[in-house]
Structure 1
């Protein structure tokens, strides 16, 4: 079996509306209206989806869905300086970076922040991309 890519990830959040606003407004992720999944907010991130759910959701979930336990890397096209300026305009604190990292496609620069539930979000910009 050969995996091709990740289709979506699910983040467990404490407040669906607060997290929806954060990911939609700060990261400009379009909200996808998914009537088939009540209690879930779905956002588009490039060719993948990020789904937000509450820990007490009565559905097929991880054994122990936990708020604030994710560590996620998002790839951006903008220069790091522009990203830093954008985050500052939304009063989002950068907790580390820019730092050099090696990602799935090679060398990149990354900055780190927390979302409203304290998930660790890495924003990466690839060199030569």
Structure 2
């Protein structure tokens, strides 16, 4: 019998202090699209779309069930790929008052070498913006 395999990442969850501040940052700074959805339990939740994936937002004061064993704001380290040159990103980030903590710097991504910038979201999560090196 063949072992079962996973095929893709559907979504991940960020536990955040302020959902509206998070939506503002990810929409304005990173260009993601916010959407409201209603899971099977009938609650109203907010997610951020990036390509075919989404990031579900859970409020730190009352995270939805089930949840990680130790959910908390500022505990994530996420890398997003872009085709936009990092020089354009640097200008965009500077215009919005977002500090680049490191980069451009060479790293290794899931599919090979990447060139990355590092910033922080409102909760202090580390956000990597990367372009593939071809």
- TM range, normalised to the smaller chain? over 0.9
Query: What are the ranges of 5 or more consecutive residues in structure 1 without an aligned counterpart?
Result: none
Query: What are the ranges of 5 or more consecutive residues in structure 2 without an aligned counterpart?
Result: none
Structure 1 residues 1-129: aligned runs within 5 Å: 1-36=4-39, 38=43, 40-55=45-60, 56-128=62-134
Tell me which structure has the larger Cα radius of gyration.
Answer: 2
Number of residue-to-residue matches in the alignment = 128
TM-score by length of 2: 0.89
Per-residue deviation, 1:22:
0.5
Distance in 1, matches of 2:99 and 2:43, equals 32
Per-residue deviation, 1:108:
0.8
Query: Which whole-Å deviations, capped at 9, do the CAs of 1:50-87 have from their partners, x for residues lacking one?
Result: 11111222421111211100011111110010011111
TM-score by length of 1: 0.92
Per-residue deviation, 1:33:
2.1
Change (3 A) 1:106 1:58: closer
Distance in 2, matches of 1:17 and 1:102, equals 32
The answer to whether the Cα contact below 8 Å between 2:19 and 2:57 also exists between their aligned partners in 1 is: yes
